[in-house]
Structure 1
């Protein structure tokens, strides 16, 4: 048995494809067309044959074809409904997506994986959202899964029928099970039909918000990274700026921080480290949006984890070099500074920043220690009034004392667990 996916790129129910300036299937969401998002869902559902209904070959279709074939799927373009009959065997299963259908991949995959059927919404809410009414109580939710044997019925329909509309009609006539899509998905923007450019702009904002949502209170640096992705991310993705480019920008800031730390400009170094961490988080979020929405890998950039050790090495160096310079200046000529004396405190600090989130996971505040922007701001603030080494000692003592107090129940474990 073969899994087949079919998608339309034009035309209304029971009509020949309509000619329009904007094709809903090619409207961009987060840098990729809706048809490309549908392809990712089809491949994740195990489809090995992709069928697209289109009047002519376009650059967008060629791009989808290359993406499908690169992942081992066969690709076909049909101009009439009857052409689908020869592509689907009776033992196959066919997934059908409406033109402009866009849903959060996890929900769509879960519903379509469960069993064959026509996904439906309550008629009032569904029709108001642009979905097609199929009976007195239901509107089609834009996706269905049907046995391949039903496809043979296309040969009995007029040649000018839109394939997607024809398949929907055949599925309903065959009394395929109607499977309800939770209306909450529609209300929260996780399931929609995109028809116009205005719809696409609204959907894109919701799409990024949904993919960057969190169930915890964000730290300052993480919040800043999320805001950057939601505001600048669409422009970057439409320009086909890959996440690794943003990660390279973060790496440049880290290298500048290394130079600033070498010359003893610790404040500038700390600031550059914090900004570099924010950029690395933004790169990881952009990669996550691509991976989760297209259901495929987006390269090796994931959460900026590969850059975090380098950030901390530069942080240690900036603290130690500044402390060494200050120690030499204060000691005077002929007084030797013990080797490693200025490295101990920053190394202990960084080890605590890595240790606490791993071994004290039940305490919410330890998650904030991963935020290097927050760490940088604390260091900048304290070094304005204290020597670097003194500030490091006080921070280390404060972390140890807080952990001990929390472990003995002296402080409530009360950070908000909801976020956006």
Structure 2
């Protein structure tokens, strides 16, 4: 499977194609399948990254290091936001640049990224990096729930939980400072 550095790149290309297929299906009105395909593209990209890491670690000749992983993750997040905005039933208004239907999805995905930064030691927040799980939850919400209300409740739950954990968490006082290396006493 690890032939001359080409397999991880081909799997990464397949991840990009899956993401484009998901966006296309979302644009055509099948948001649930689009969410699943974008989540699956994230998973396929993670497999490609792991294969590339194995190749670099196991071969004497250095394999190709893919430096676009962080960019791909941002594109997956942008795809989830776009699909959620297209799925939204809020009316488009020209007074707001993207419209109200973009606001809650941007807050949801941005909040998921911020929770991982704000609570790095909280083990249960690790699933917020899993875009396959995110896509699956959004697909289920798209099919079974009032989508805009579900996104709004998810944003409020995410931010409220983060604030409560930061305020009343069981971390030591030195861990509550923004930078414990600089603000704690030796």
| TM bin (shorter chain) | 0.7 to 0.9
Contact 2:38 2:80 in 1 (8 A): yes
Contact 2:14 2:44 in 1 (8 A): yes
Q: CA deviation digits over 1:174-208, x for unaligned, max 9?
A: xxxxxxxxxxxxxxxxxxxxxxxxxxxxxxxxxxx
Q: Which has the larger share of helix?
A: 2
User: Could you tell me which of 317, 341, 363 is aligned with 2:122?
Assistant: 363
Contact 1:285 1:303 in 2 (8 A): no
Work out the CA distance in 1 between the residues paired with 2:129 and 2:120: 12
Q: CA deviation digits over 1:365-408, x for unaligned, max 9?
A: 22221110011111122222222211111111111122123221
Match of 1:175 in 2: none
By how many angstroms is 1:268 displaced?
Answer: 1.0
User: Could you tell me which of 313, 333, 345 is aligned with 2:104?
Assistant: 345
Matched, 1:305 2:65: no
Counterparts in 2 of 1:240 and 1:287: CA distance versus 1, 3 Å: closer
Work out the CA distance in 1 between the residues paired with 2:53 and 2:101: 39
Counterparts in 2 of 1:295 and 1:362: CA distance versus 1, 3 Å: farther
Contact 1:287 1:302 in 2 (8 A): no
Counterparts in 2 of 1:363 and 1:384: CA distance versus 1, 3 Å: same
Match of 2:180 in 1: none
Aligned runs of 1:99-178 on 2, under 5 Å?
Answer: none
By how many angstroms is 1:364 displaced?
Answer: 1.5
Work out the CA distance in 2 between the residues paired with 1:305 and 1:341: 27
Counterparts in 2 of 1:317 and 1:391: CA distance versus 1, 3 Å: same
Contact 2:104 2:152 in 1 (8 A): yes
By how many angstroms is 1:238 displaced?
Answer: 5.7
By how many angstroms is 1:237 displaced?
Answer: 2.4
**Structure 2 gap segments, 5+ residues each:** 171-186
Aligned runs of 1:237-316 on 2, under 5 Å?
Answer: 237=2, 241-294=6-59, 297-301=62-66, 304-316=69-81
Q: CA deviation digits over 1:3-51, x for unaligned, max 9?
A: xxxxxxxxxxxxxxxxxxxxxxxxxxxxxxxxxxxxxxxxxxxxxxxxx
Bigger mean CA deviation after superposition, 240-249 or 290-299: 290-299
Matched, 1:406 2:165: yes
Q: CA deviation digits over 1:40-93, x for unaligned, max 9?
A: xxxxxxxxxxxxxxxxxxxxxxxxxxxxxxxxxxxxxxxxxxxxxxxxxxxxxx
Q: Secondary structure of 2:42's match?
A: helix
Matched, 1:386 2:150: no
Contact 1:283 1:304 in 2 (8 A): no
Q: Could you say what the CA RMSD is over the residues aligned between the two structures, in angstroms?
A: 2.2
User: Which runs of 4 or more aligned residues in structure 1 lie more than 3 Å from their structure 2 counterparts after TM superposition?
Assistant: 238-241, 336-339
State the number of aligned residues. Answer: 166
Counterparts in 2 of 1:394 and 1:296: CA distance versus 1, 3 Å: farther
User: Could you tell me which of 282, 304, 327 is aligned with 2:90?
Assistant: 327
Contact 1:316 1:346 in 2 (8 A): yes
Contact 2:81 2:109 in 1 (8 A): yes
Q: Secondary structure of 1:242's match?
A: helix
